[in-house]
Amino acid sequence: MERRRLATIWLGGCSGCHMSFLDLDEWLFELAQHIDLVYSPLADVKEYPDHVDVALVEGAVANEDHLHLIRQVRERTRILIAFGDCAVTGNVTALRNPLGAPEALLHTIYIERAEIAGCLPHAPGIVPQLLDKVQPVHKVVPVDVYLPGCPPPAPRIRALLEQVIAGEDIRLTGREMIKFG
């Protein structure tokens, strides 16, 4: 069977989904028989490669860097999977949205509540600009598969990846597969 090119992406999230991915434990060895991990925060790859078969996208789109990366991912990936609640709904990452524009929030955090003379983080090219609103991935680019969960438990990730490897039409239903939270 042809080996699939897998990528995992970490946008605005806590990396809990990636931790859950690692919870696949010894099944990771089996997975490694079928895939090449071509891009991941778990691997030292700087540039998102071309011709990726499957991408697991953790996290919501919260800043300019996320926006840039997710567009690149979409262009270069066949099956884009929103991986976990932040990617699917915005989740905890989007909890700032009801509070309004990010400037006010940054001001509260870095100036009003700073213990010593605070200043707003400003380092173009290093610290990315926050977007006005945190968005789930499908609001920014088309998403092919949604895998809810905060984080999705390892068996759920495995069930999905087994379908991916088998090349089936991916269909997720029921409490075990699509429960949020």
Partner 1 sequence: MAARTFTIDDQLISAREGETILQAAREHGISIPTLCHLDGVSDVGACRLCLVEIEGSRALRPACVTPVVEEMVVRTDTERLREYRRMIIELLFAERNHVCAVCVANGHCELQDLAIAVGMDHVRFDYAFPRCDVDISHPLFGIDHNRCVLCTRCVRVCDEVEGVHTWDVAGRGADARVITDMRQPWGEARSCTSCGKCVLACPTGAIFRRGATVGEMERDRNKIAYIVAAREQRW
Partner 2 sequence: MDISELLTIAEHERTMRRPTCIRCCTALGCQSAGSLSLKQRLEEAVAEVDRTDIEVIGVGCMGMCGHGPLVRVDPDGVLYEHVHAADAPSIVAALDGGDATAPRGDPQHPFFTLQKRIVLENSGIIDPERIESYIAAGGYQALYCVLHDMTPAEVIDVVTRSGLRGRGGAGYPTGLKWATVAKSHGDRKYVVCNADEGDPGAFMDRSIIESDPHKILEGMAIAAYAVGADQGYVYVRAEYPLAIQRLQRAIAQARRLGLLGAQIFDAGFTFRIDIRVGAGAFVCGEETALMASIEGRRGQPRPRPPYPAESGLWGRPTLINNVETFANIPPIIRNGAEWFAAIGAEHSKGTKVFALTGKIRHTGLIEVPMGVTLRQIVEEMGGGVPEGRVKAVQTGGPSGGCIPAALLDTPVDYESLQRVGSIMGSGGMVVMDDATNMVDVAHFYMEFCKDESCGKCIPCRAGTAQMLHMLNLIRSGQATAADLARLEQLCIMVKETSLCGLGQSAPNPVLSTMKYFREEYEAFVRDEGLAG
In angstroms, the Cα distances linking 115 to 29, 103, 105, 106, 110 are 48, 19, 16, 14, 9
**Of the candidates 11, 55, 88, 160, which one interacts with partner 1 according to CB under 8 A?**
88
Residue 31, helix vs strand vs coil: helix
Which of partner 1, partner 2, none is residue 180 near (CB under 5 to 8 Å by kind)?
partner 1
User: At closest approach, how far in Å is the CB of 73 from partner 2?
Assistant: 14
User: At closest approach, how far in Å is the CB of 138 from partner 2?
Assistant: 6
For residue 131, which of 83, 63, 180, 82 has the smallest C-alpha distance?
63
Contact assessment for residue 71 and residue 11, using Cβ atoms and an 8 Å cutoff = no
User: At closest approach, how far in Å is the CB of 16 from partner 1?
Assistant: 9
User: At closest approach, how far in Å is the CB of 3 from partner 1?
Assistant: 27
Residue placing its CB nearer to partner 1 in the complex, 137 or 165: 137
**Residue 60, C-beta contacts closer than 8 angstroms, at least 6 positions apart:** 11, 12, 13, 66, 86, 87, 90, 91, 93, 94, 134, 135, 136, 137
Binding residues among 130-149 for partner 2 as defined by CB under 8 A: 138-142
Binding residues among 139-178 for partner 1 as defined by CB under 8 A: 139, 143, 146-148, 150, 172-175, 178
Binding residues among 89-118 for partner 1 as defined by CB under 8 A: 89-92, 94-95, 97-100
Q: Does residue 33 bind partner 1 (CB under 8 A)?
A: no
Report the C-alpha gap between 9 and 17 in whole angstroms. 10
Contact assessment for residue 137 and residue 61, using Cβ atoms and an 8 Å cutoff = yes
Number of residues engaging partner 1 in binding (CB under 8 A): 30
Which element (helix H / strand E) includes 106?
A: helix 102-107
What tokens were used for 179? 């429960």
Q: Which residues bind partner 1 (CB under 8 A)?
A: 82, 85, 88-92, 94-95, 97-100, 133, 136, 138-139, 143, 146-148, 150, 172-175, 178-181
Residues at the site binding partner 2, with contacts judged by CB under 8 A: 138-142
